[in-house]
Amino acid sequence: MYCVKKVTEDLTWVGANDRRLSMFEGVYSVPNGVSYNSYLLLDEKTVLFDTVDKSVSEQFMENVEHVLSGRRLDYVVIQHMEPDHSATLAELLRRRPETTVVCNKMIADMIKQFFNLDITPRALIVKEGDTLSTGRHNLTFIAAPMVHWPEVMVTYDTVDKILFSADAFGTFGALNGAIFADEVDFDRDYMDEARRYYTTIVGKYGAQVQSLLKKASGIEISLICPLHGFVWRRNLDSFINKYLLWSSYTPEESGVVIAYASIYGNTANAAEVLSAYLFDRGVHTVVYDVSVTPASDIIAACFRFSHIVFAAPTYNSGIFVTMEAFLHDLAAHSLQNRTVAFIQNGSWAPTSGKQMRAIVEPLRNTTVLNGLISVKSALKPEQAAELAALADTIAADIAEKAALRKQKEEAEAVENAPALPCGIDNNAMFKLSYGLYVLTARSGEKDNGCIINTAVQLTDSPKTLTIAVNKANFTEQMIRESGEFNLSVLTDAVPMSVISRFGFQSGRDCSKFEGCDCVRRSVNGIRYIPKYTNAYISCKVLEARDHGTHTLFVAEVTEAVVLDKSAESVTYERYLSEIKPKTAPVCSTVQKGYVCKICGYVYEGETLPADFVCPLCKHGAADFEPIG
Ligand code: FEO
């Protein structure tokens, strides 16, 4: 029966899993199997992206027939001619004579090489940047030579932002029911195999992968559909970042791979002792016997970690066979930027260290640590210090490189940090600590007062202070006229009624002291507030400076009296959070408008003028918020 998975509304995975294959490409073990992915797009035209390996041909054909459901197959896009993807192409074309093959010239040539089939009459030959409209979708073809073969191209659907990435972004391992990487614990269960897949398939072609990544960085990608493994629809950046590291041969993490070959266990013993010493120094190590562990696992680990120690006996005057094979395999993958060290063994003429170095050192940016450890037959306790010294050297090198990396990352973070927003958040202004005061004045026979929160001591000797008063306040006008004022410091216990009396009505329209028992006057003859206050301060104006909406008064203190020793002064923050009623008195019939966050005054209308000033508390438009 067919076995397919929906990728998007009109794109379906029609590939298949292979769990019988033991060695991918005849050389790489795949203990968890492998998937051969093919995708079928149902648009006005139908498009199949690649075919599959011949081992799963039957399942694939059934999947394609099922999804097409009687429709013709208009196009098959061939992105890569390696037989794990193209082996079933000839059979597909035989069954579907109506299908046009979309490919580049090199792929057409390879089709002839593999199948002795000239597809020219039914081919649409494309090159870099060519496009194909299939109805709703538009496909753009992008060359990706040497990712993994020279003919490879990838395809970008500009409508749904899907990158059909050929071998890139693939993973070893069959799909266990899921199709998206975010449906499984990818980091835990698949990342090692993804790394091993990368290193074995395209590890040698870092520059070419970088070139593809550069092209990909210029397009918006929502989905990556590779030819092996999972489809990526989330956390794309995390996987792309892995590719950036791998393709630039940058270690993913600090740590040491100890790869050894051993005939009778003595070289293995040296590797184990070094591993223990490194662990004691806080260095993460992974140890492999190259005669046992498949080379692809060890090569993948070498791509992952920053340091490698190779340990091998001398054998037939050369390097022990399994280590020699491994080193040539590693070198063929063009590993770069690693720090290495060597341990050799030999019962009469140890030379494997020098010979291992001759293979590894030419790799680009390889740093060889001094201190070749030479074992004669078996490690002796007298050599413990030598191994300890090597462990010290490696640990110090790792620490130094980590520090440099951190420094670089921090510098880059500063360089790449987004510009700080340069707007003004009014809430930040509220973080300044203010008190609340009743500012009183007398001009002629008129007594008046208002609420302010902007009183600050300026100097101690002489004692001066500043106050900023909104010019819309009648009190401001009276202070300019009289040159004197009183400041009554409100306490924590102040009720809203006191704030409302002095803050939310205008002295031009009413007498703020009417019905109030605040009848006391200070020496200067100006009223002060004796209740809910802990002090009053009388002042004489020295200077009045116009600051647009406010006048800044600098004043000399002429009298200062403590009214309550124990009562705490109220802060503006406490007023906002605890004294001011939580629900602004918004009229229920008002549908459109703005409410003052300070006093609850409601402005009715669609748009609040930018220069609007609250008629009650005199705060500006920035302190209003929309109703509803
Ligand atoms: Fe999955 Fe290069 O083939």
Rounded to an integer, what is the distance from CA 207 to the centroid of its chain? 25
CB of 228 sitting under 6 A from ligand 1: yes
The mean of the pLDDT values for the chain is 92
DSSP H helix total and E strand total for the chain: 17, 33
How many Å is the Cα radius of gyration of the chain? 40
Atom of ligand 1 nearest to the CA of 227: 1
Residue whose token pair is 């060695």: 23
- Pairing verdict, β 153-157 and 162-166: antiparallel
Other beta carbons less than 10 A from residue 624's beta carbon? 20
- Alpha carbon distance 156, 140 (integer Å): 5
Please determine, for residue 536, whether its predicted confidence score (pLDDT) is greater than 90: yes
With cut-offs at 50, 70 and 90, classify the pLDDT of residue 513: confident
pLDDT in tens, 44-59: 999 999 999 999 999 9
Residues 6+ apart with CB under 8 A from 90: 114, 115, 117
CB of 148 sitting under 6 A from ligand 1: yes
Residue whose token pair is 């109030």: 516
- How much is the pLDDT for 585? 47
Weakest-pLDDT range from 287-296, 328-337, 417-426, 484-493: 417-426
Three-state SS at 46? strand
CB of 53 sitting under 6 A from ligand 1: no
Distance 34 CA to ligand 1 centre (A): 11
Distance 190 CA to ligand 1 centre (A): 18
Please determine, for residue 525, whether its predicted confidence score (pLDDT) is greater than 60: yes
Please determine, for residue 508, whether its predicted confidence score (pLDDT) is greater than 90: no
- How much is the pLDDT for 588? 45
Where are the extended beta strands (E) located within 43-176? 46-49, 75-77, 100-103, 123-125, 131-133, 138-143, 153-157, 162-166
Distance 452 CA to ligand 1 centre (A): 75
- Alpha carbon distance 121, 405 (integer Å): 56
- How much is the pLDDT for 422? 62
Global model pTM greater than 0.75: no
Q: Which three-class secondary structure string do you get for 252-297?
A: CEEEEEEEECCCCCHHHHHHHHHHHHHHHCCCCEEEEECCCCCHHH
Question: What is the arithmetic mean of pLDDT over 31-50?
Answer: 97
Where are the extended beta strands (E) located within 396-459? 437-443, 446-452, 455-459
Distance 287 CA to ligand 1 centre (A): 30
CB of 84 sitting under 6 A from ligand 1: yes
CA distances, 329 to each of 101, 317, 323, 362, 408 (Å): 37, 20, 10, 14, 32
Distance 135 CA to ligand 1 centre (A): 29
- How much is the pLDDT for 455? 94
Burial 380-417 (b: 16+ CB within 10 A, else e): eeebeebbeebbeebbebbeebeeeeeeeeeeeeeeee
Question: What is the arithmetic mean of pLDDT over 267-279?
Answer: 98
Question: What is the arithmetic mean of pLDDT over 332-353?
Answer: 96
Question: What is the arithmetic mean of pLDDT over 257-261?
Answer: 98
- Alpha carbon distance 495, 580 (integer Å): 9
Please determine, for residue 589, whether its predicted confidence score (pLDDT) is greater than 60: no
pLDDT in tens, 81-105: 999 999 999 999 999 999 999 999 9
- Alpha carbon distance 463, 454 (integer Å): 17
CB of 18 sitting under 6 A from ligand 1: no
Q: What's 582's DSSP letter? A: S
- How much is the pLDDT for 82? 97
CB of 151 sitting under 6 A from ligand 1: no
Judge whether 278 and 391 are in contact, CB under 8 Å.
yes
Distance 166 CA to ligand 1 centre (A): 8
CB of 167 sitting under 6 A from ligand 1: yes
CA distances, 363 to each of 89, 155, 328, 340, 605 (Å): 39, 34, 11, 11, 74
